[in-house]
Amino acid sequence: MRSWLALAVIAALVAALPLAGNNYALRLATTVCMYSVMAQSWNFIGGFAGYPSFATAAFFGLGAYASAILQNHGVPMVPAWAGAGLAALLFAAFLGGAILHLRGHYFAIASLIVVEMLREIVNTLPDFTGGGKGVNLPLLKLSVTGQAQFFFYAMLALAVLTVATTIVIHRSKLGFGLRCIQQNESAADIIGINTYAYKTAGFSLSAVFVGVAGAIYASWVNYIDPPDVFDVLISVKPMVMVLLGGLGTIFGPSIGAVILLLLEEAVWRNFLTIHVAALGAIIVVLVLFLPNGLLALIRERSPTKAMAK
Amino acid sequence: MTALLTLDGVSRRFGGLKAVDDVSFDVNESEIVGLIGPNGSGKTTLINLITGVHPATAGHVHFDGHDITRQRPYRIARLGLARTFQIVQPFPRMTVVENVAAGALFCGHASDVREAQAIAREHLEFTGLADMADRPAATLTLARRKRLELAKSLAMRPRLLMLDEVNAGLNPTEIEEAVAIIRKIAEQGVTIIVIEHLMKVVLSISHRLVVLHHGQLIAQGTPRKVVADKRVIEAYLGAKYAAGNPGVSN
Amino acid sequence: MSTTPTLSVMSLQAGYGEVRVLWDVSLEVAAGELVCIIGSNGAGKTTLMRCLSGLLQPSAGSIVIDGRPMAQATPADFVRAGLAHVPEGRRLFSAMSIRDNLLMGAYLRTDKVGIVADLERIYAMFPILAERQRQDAGTLSGGEQQMCAIGRGLMAAPRVLLIDELSLGLAPRAVELLSETLRKVNATGVAILLVEQDVMNALELANRAYVIDHGRVTKSGPAMGLASDPAICEAYMGLSKAELQ
Amino acid sequence: MIYLQIAANGLVLGGLYACIAVGFSLVWGVLNVINILHGSFIVLGSYVAYFAYVHLGIHPFISIVIAGGVLYALGYVVQAGIINRVVSAPVLITLTLTFGLDLILNNTMLVAFTADYRGITLAHPLGSLEIGPVFLPGDRVAAMALAILLTILLYRLLRDSTIGRAIIAVRMDREAAALMGVDVKRINAITFAIGAFMAGAAGALLSIIFPISPLNGPVFLGKAFVVCVLGGLGSVPGALAGGLLLGVIESFTSYWLGPERAVTVSFALLLVLLFVRPSGLMGRRGYE
């Protein structure tokens, strides 16, 4: 119950933001919501099940392109977003069947290669996808501020939905099974968990919301091209956020998303040319000194105020 | 008596090595069978074959009328075949009660996590771990982790329970406690296979012994008969020792 | 026994995490001696060997080699101090040639001439290894692999050779051959500490023996005197002879 | 005989791919670490050769030693100072770490050298080579020959030297290696440094063929992945075979399906291979 309450309070507070903030703050908030969706999603496969998936960018790009193509063929925007989510879900279910028997490095590589391959495929199908030149999306008939608010609320709703799903999954049989798999896959198998089905479910969950996020993002920025939406950094950032916030927790990924975005903004403003290196430095420091996340650090200091349920 | 588990010519090779070589035997309903043999004789591999961790390279395993030879482990588990591991394998960062609940939940005896936790607490009571329920499994002592393995397996409501060295590394008092629990489990009608190197324990609880050596079944029968068997002594102490001790029969 | 043992272990305790395996082990090996340790599966023999090779830090007690305490020593320090290890299961580098396996044994040595001479000595001792020196070690039979592992240990030019489970999984004929070779090695002045499952084989080979049960030395003395000791039956089968009959 | 020409082009490319991948494969096999930095290491090697040529007039073939040396030192420091701290941690940790390090190195190169593609135009090219119906640029053939030579030299080093044997021993059984007195941590650092040396040397060779830019780092990394999975982990002959195979495959797919599909096809091949045979075409089963 506490998780639901926390979610409701946070969502209400963030939803009130347009009343106080300017467009810059709104843009940041929209990005935080998007990051939060990606981090929460990666948490299903990477945090719960412990599989280091690099496929987030594949789902994101796939969603963005699916929605763009659907809209350019006359499908209205919101159904196109749903179509994008469905495309990502089906793709993940299919892909999961092929690569989830791999473990460790091999799984990581296979999922990384999928991103590269989708990008190359989009690049080489110019008639269908616009190829390397990218593709434009229909413009919304709204004021600049109206658009900003619309996409903010869309992304916020998606983030809330993703967190809500996390809360449900965390308590469900599926979430329980995924955590068993993460801690000891062979023991999970032996107590009756159909590990293959569970992993595929977790992998699909890690795709569906990211696909929709990609679709909303595409509508938001109006134009997408392969290097933008199939960027490997889209795969890596969620991992960093989850590492920051705590693997397998409910709100950790979103908290990590906020922290990472604030860090990014600070770096963007002050060191534009080396912001990627700065991200690299954050990762290195994080991995070497805080492998259990910033929150773990705080929790260690005050063990009574433990998070979780 | 009907055979609950039947092994028929089961073999397993790893490369050129025959880890289990043409092993056949039955386990009857409500029986306690001791599976013994010296270090490296293939006992754990045999358990892995029965539970589907490794597929058998030849032969058949039947359990309660089902051919489980090439079934996935989770399906075999759901049929009512549970095991513990020699090196205990808890879910280390979950609490004790969650570990046990996992057993209840995924073998289909609980419809949701909450019900599974309730069932788990009963089993913790039974194994004397109730006080530890909410601690992370990794913080338990070895003896308690072994009991946690037992509780987890029991929560699966097995018809056949295979215990792989549940007493290894325990002190005499802990062993006595563990043996008492095994007896209680057997009283509930669960069929049990114990792998055990402590001969005193095996002799005191088993109805029947099966002896493996170099992957082959070299003897089976009542405990008294088996431990006096020349081939068994040879397997444990070497041929010369067996030859030099005429007190040994057969 | 000489007054200053080459290897001496005093009140050693060790384990893994909270699992204590060795409770109290003391033993000595004098220069040129052949000593065996017998005990059942799980008695702590392999744990003792891991302590004696620096793979495991004991939690209490001491290991002294030639008067030098080996606290906090790395495996390399043990090799340098003159202890070479023939591990259980042989642990050869299977995709490496036999010759390269032997040379790995001499990894810390820098005396090229001595290495070549020792290589020839090993080949003379085990002609089969010379014949197949270019083949991968994984292609050897079990007994030949054990020869290669012993040869690899000897290539370190040790004062004490530790052998963990000489006969495990080997045919009786191969064990006899290896035992014969160990006697010869021992005759050249290398002390041997042998851990062995096959009781009689070990006792026939050794000058002295220690019986380990549940992480403690329960008996020690001249090897042949122990052969009929009830402690052995107890240690191996968990039953006394009377209970066996 | 157009197919002969295509095959020859593929083999020339493949020799270079082998050299790109062999260091990566070695590090993966011995340390069980995927070195995402490898692509940037190669690019850095190219820059070293570029500046040595432009400012000092040193031929890139000679710069192999300089670029290799610079990268060896860098690799040793990075491994011993940073990666060794987490070398036995789960994949997520080691992979994220080398990824972070790569972001730093690649971004630094972008700032220092810009993203502009540079190239070396040799003052005295070797002209072209004519074997029957096949024409090949002499410099490319020479680069390929040197790449294969380097790969073979690495193979000999691993087989014939004490350090090489220790590296192989650590790969096969690190505990048994420690029992021989091998300092496993030091071998880890040396292995990583050798991997970096091979990357630098490959970079120097590639500098006369491919345009040089930090943006190429991921491309080279992708090639290394594919070759490694094709040939099997940690095996030098495997990397050589995998490299040549990938070169020929890319060459033929370029011809049949167009150059823009070559990469897609090689990645698709990799996925299929991971699905059916995770240990590679030449790899040993059950060996990770």
> For residue range B14-28, what is the model confidence (pLDDT) as tens digits?
876 788 999 999 999
Residue A45's CB: how many other CB atoms inside 10 A? 30
In this predicted structure, the answer to whether residue B4 has a pLDDT above a threshold of 60 is: yes
Q: Do chains C and B touch (3 or more CB pairs under 8 A)?
A: yes
Could you say which DSSP state residue D212 is in? B
Q: What gap in Å lies between CA D104 and CA A50, rounded to an integer?
A: 26
Is D184 a residue whose pLDDT tops 90? yes
CB < 8 Å to C53, chain D: 179
| Full residue range of the structural domain in which residue D200 is found | 2-119+131-276
**Residue type present at position C78:** F
* Fold that domain B1-80+160-250 belongs to in CATH: Rossmann fold (3.40.50)
Residues of C in contact with D183 (CB under 8 A): 74, 76
pLDDT of residue A306: 35
For residue B246, name the pLDDT band (cuts at 50, 70, 90).
very low
Q: H or E element: which one contains A2?
A: helix A2-15
CA distance C118 to chain B (A): 32
Pairwise CA distance, residues B93 & A183, whole Å: 7
Looking only at the bridges linking them, the beta strands covering C216-222 and B81-83 are unpaired
Q: Which residues in chain B are closer than 8 Å to C198, comparing Cβ atoms? A: 237-238, 240-241
- Check residue C53 and report its DSSP letter: T
Cβ neighbours for C6, distance < 8 A, ≥ 6 positions apart: C29, C30, C31, C33, C65, C66, C82, C159, C160, C191
Candidate from A117, A123, A280 with C-beta closest to D107: A280
ipTM: 0.85
pLDDT for D45 equals 97
Confidence at residue B249, expressed as pLDDT on a 0 to 100 scale: 40
In Å, how far is A122's CA from the nearest CA of chain B? Answer: 39
Query: How many pairs of residues across A and D have Cβ atoms under 8 Å apart?
Result: 119
Candidate from D159, D162, D172 with C-beta closest to C107: D162
Q: A174: how many CB neighbours lie within 10 A of its CB?
A: 18
Dihedral sign for Cα atoms in the order C147, C153, C157, C158: negative
Instruction: For residues D221-235, give the mean pLDDT.
Output: 87
Return the pLDDT at B247: 43
pLDDT, one tens digit per residue, over C74-93 is 999 999 999 999 998 899 99
Partner-chain residue, chosen from C18, C42, C198, that has the shortest CB–CB distance to B197:
C42
The alpha carbon torsion through C127, C131, C135, C136 (nearest 10 deg) reads: -10
Interface check for D287 against chain A (CB to CB < 8 A): the answer is no
Identify the pLDDT of residue C3.
Answer: 59
* Percentage with pLDDT > 70 across chain B: 96
In a domain, D258, yes or no: yes
Give the chain A residue nearest B51 (alpha carbons). A190
Report residue C9's pLDDT band, with 50, 70 and 90 as the boundaries. Answer: very high
Distance CA D282, CA D232 (A): 5
- Taking only residues 145 to 204 of chain C, the set having a beta carbon closer than 8 angstroms to any beta carbon of chain D reads 152, 156
Give the Cα separation of B205 and B195 in Å (integer): 12
What domains can you pick out in chain C, each with its CATH number?
7-244 (3.40.50.300)
The DSSP secondary structure of A56-75, one letter per residue, reads: HHHHHHHHHHHHHHHHHTT-
- The answer to whether residue C39 neighbours chain D at the CB level (below 8 Å) is no
Pairing relationship of beta strands B216-221 and C7-16 according to DSSP bridges: unpaired
Q: Count up the domains in chain D and report the number.
A: 1
Domain boundaries, chain B: 1-80+160-250, 92-157
The predicted pLDDT at position A145 comes to: 85
Percentage above 90 pLDDT, chain B: 53
Nearest partner of A240 among A269, A183, A280, A211, judged by Cα: A280
The CA distance from D110 to D117, in Å, is 11
Query: Which residue on chain C is closest to D163 by alpha carbon?
Result: C107
Residue to test with chain B: of A48, A183, A191, most B Cβ within 10 A: A191
Residue B236 near residue C236, CB atoms below 8 Å: yes
B113 touches chain A (CB under 8 A): yes
Predicted TM-score (pTM) of this structure: 0.88
Q: Which residues of A touch D100 (CB under 8 A)?
A: 279-284, 286-287
| Chains within contact range of chain B (3+ C-beta pairs < 8 Å) | A, C
- D-chain residues near A98 (CB < 8 A): 271, 275
Counting other chains too, the contacts that A73-81 makes at CB distance below 8 Å and 24 or more residues apart are A77/A138, A77/A140, A77/A219, A80/A215, A81/A212, A81/A215, A81/A216, A81/A219
Q: Which CATH number fits domain A2-305: 2.60.40, 1.10.3470, 3.40.50, 3.30.310?
A: 1.10.3470
Sequential DSSP letters for A200-240: HHHHHHHHHHHHHHHHHHHHHHSEE-HHHHT-HHHHHHHHH
CA of C215: which chain B residue's CA is closest?
A: B169
Q: Which of A271, A283, A289 to mutate against chain D (most D CBs within 10 Å)?
A: A283
Alpha carbon distance B28, A196 (integer Å): 33
pLDDT band at D285 (very low <50, low <70, confident <90, very high): very low
Beta bridge partners of A30: none
Strands ordered across the beta sheet of B66-67: B17-28, B3-14, B58-63, B66-67
> How far is A3 from chain D, CA to nearest CA, in Å?
28
DSSP-assigned letter for residue A48 = I
Position C220, amino acid = S
Predicted confidence at residue A296, as pLDDT, reads 62
Taking Cα atoms as reference points, which of D96, D94, D82, D73 lies closest to residue D31? Answer: D94
Alpha helices (runs of H) in chain B, residue ranges in sequence order: 43-50, 73-78, 96-106, 113-126, 142-155, 172-187, 199-205, 223-227, 230-237, 239-243
At residue C14 the predicted structure's pLDDT band, cuts being 50, 70 and 90, is: very high
Q: What is the pLDDT of residue C234?
A: 73
On the question of pLDDT at B201 being above 70, the answer is: yes
- DSSP-assigned beta bridge partners for residue B82: B161
In the structure encoding, which two tokens stand for residue D181, read together? 């007195």
Residue-level pLDDT at C241: 57
CB D189 within 8 A of CB D72: no
- Most D CBs within 10 Å: which of C98, C99, C102, C107, as the mutation test of the D interface? C107
Question: What's the pLDDT at B245?
Answer: 58
Residue C56 has pLDDT above 90, yes or no: yes
Instruction: Decide if pLDDT at B203 tops 60.
Output: yes
Tokens 């040879």 correspond to what residue? B234
Distance from CA of B207 to the nearest CA of C (A): 17
Which residues from A are below 8 Å from D107, CB to CB?
274-277, 280
Domain containing D217 — which CATH number? 1.10.3470
Report chain B residues whose CB lies below 8 A from the CB of C173.
Answer: none
Q: What is the 3-state secondary structure (H, E, C) of D39-84?
A: HHHHHHHHHHHHHHHHHHCCCHHHHHHHHHHHHHHHHHHHHHHCHH
Model confidence at C226, pLDDT cuts 50, 70, 90, reads confident
* Structural domain contains residue D30: yes
Please count the other Cβ atoms lying within 10 Å of the Cβ belonging to residue C164.
Answer: 25
Task: Please tell me if residue A177 touches chain B, with a CB cutoff of 8 Å.
Answer: yes
Calculate mean pLDDT across residues C192-204.
87
pLDDT at D232: 80
Q: Is residue D282 part of a domain?
A: no
A63 — contact with chain B (CB < 8 Å)? no
Residues of D in contact with C76 (CB under 8 A): 178, 181-183
Three-state secondary structure call for residue A243: helix
Q: Which residues of chain A have pLDDT under 50?
A: 301-309
**Interface-testing mutation among D87, D95, D215, with chain A (most A C-beta atoms within 10 A):** D95
Could you give the CA distance from residue A286 to residue A260 in angstroms, rounded to a whole number?
Answer: 11
- Given the DSSP bridges, would you call strands B160-164 and B216-221 parallel, antiparallel or unpaired? unpaired
Residue C152's nearest CA partner among D165, D287, D26, D167 is: D165
Lowest pLDDT segment from B231-235, C119-123, D30-34, D187-191: B231-235
For chain A, the domains span 2-305
Supply the pLDDT for residue B231: 86
Residue D226 domain flag: yes
- Please say whether the beta carbons of A190 and B83 come within 8 A: yes
Å between B222 CA and nearest CA of chain A: 30
Q: What is the mean pLDDT of chain C?
A: 89
Q: Which residue has the tokens 């412990």?
A: A50
Share of chain D above pLDDT 90, in %: 69
Instruction: Quote the minimal CA–CA distance from C122 to chain B in Å.
Output: 27
C230 or D141: whose pLDDT is higher?
Answer: D141
How much of chain A is helix, strand and coil, in % rounded to 5? 80, 0, 20
